[in-house]
Each structure stands twice: as C-alpha cells, then as structure tokens.
Amino acid sequence: MASLSFEHVFAPPAEIDDTTPILVLLHSTGGNQHQLVTLGQQLAPKAAILSPLGQVNENGFQRFFKRYGEGKLDLDDLARQAERLNDFVREASEAYGFSLANIIAGGYSNGANAAVGMFLSEPSPVRSLLLFRAMISLQPEPMPTRPSSHALVSAGRFDQTMPPDNPERLTAILQATGASVTLTWQSTGHQLTEGDVATAREWFANLPAI
C-alpha cells in the first residue's frame, strides 16, 4: 500500500483501465478499512476497492467525523473531513494510477454520511453514491450541480437511529443536485441484510458506463 494521508486498503481487479469503477468504501463507527472490502467485491467484481480508515476516535471507536451524540452530527467537522477524504481520493488516484472519471463513494452508517459529505463538497471527485443507512447531513447553499450522477439510498424501515422520514428527505436533497436517486426500503433496522446486498448488486450492475 502506498503511504497516503489515510491508512487504507486498495484492492484492484485483475484488469484496470480508465473505465474501471473505483468504489470508495467508508466503514461504520467502530469498523475499519477492511470492514466493507469483501462486500464491495461481491457487489462489483470488476471494480477497484479503495477503503480508508476513519481518523476520528470516539471512545476507542474509529469514525470519519465527530458527533455530539446519537443522531447529532457535527456538520462543521463533517465538512472538513469530507474535503480531506476527497483529497485522499485524489492522492490515491496519483499513487495507484486510476482515473477519477468513475468514482463511486459507498458507505454504511457513519461512512454513508461521510460519503454524502464528499459528494456535496465542491469540488468533488465523487460521481455516484451507494448509501446504506445514511442520514441527512450537509445541505450546502448553493447546492452543487451533479446532473450525471446516480445514488442508491438503502434504508431500514424499522431503523430507530433516525427519524422515519429521514431517507425521503435525504433523497430530495440529493435529487436537488440533479442526481438520479433510487430509494429502497429493507424490512429491518439499522443492520445490513441480504436484501441490501441484492439491491445494491442490481443497482451497480445497471449503472451507466462512463
């Protein structure tokens, strides 16, 4: 692994060129850079996986940005950390020689929120979003324009970590950028399920080529 600003895993496919999707995967609170790699390879076998370790420590658990409590996000820190993550992706592109044309940021819980922050930052290398249990986070003014982008919001119908209307509100925010957004509901709480995996695999398979 190259020595970059974030400790990370980079797992390229057997063949990589300028059309290869680069799936940037961001773990949940208490996870690490290995947490979602296998999942990413299952969802998109032809993608390269880039997975950093969050640098914010919360009582011994790694995260990507600070919070004040359950469901109470530090939006100023999220904005700062999102910019750092975008810079890291650019660093990794130079170090590993992959194109920035097809960056897809994906994450679970805290990582999904950080991915949204990356996408809404300006400028951002993130083209599309794969979100598991994301919350509303940044709402920049003016909203960035992302008309060729795509996003999947996979929500838990019984997720008690956020208000019930949160996924619809997040969907509307992302649609305001011009992105094409798919909202799906799983019959579960905050945890990931096989339904999430199947939905994400189908969504990824149908993403338009760059």
Q: Catalytic residue, from 77, 99, 180, 190: name it.
A: 190
Identify residue 139 by its one-letter amino acid code. Q
Q: Catalytic residue, from 27, 137, 150, 159: name it.
A: 159
108-145 burial: b if 16+ Cβ within 10 Å, else e: bbbbbbbbbbbbbbeebbbbbbbbbbbbbbbeeeeebe
- Tell me, yes or no, if 109 is annotated catalytic: yes
Q: Return left, alpha or beta for 94; rule: phi > 0 is left, psi -120 to 50 is alpha, else beta.
A: alpha
- Tell me, yes or no, if 27 is annotated catalytic: no
Instruction: Take residue 68 and report the two structure tokens written for it.
Output: 């004040």
Q: Catalytic residue, from 51, 109, 121, 149: name it.
A: 109
What gap in Å lies between CA 116 and CA 136, rounded to an integer? 8
Catalytic site positions: 109, 159, 190
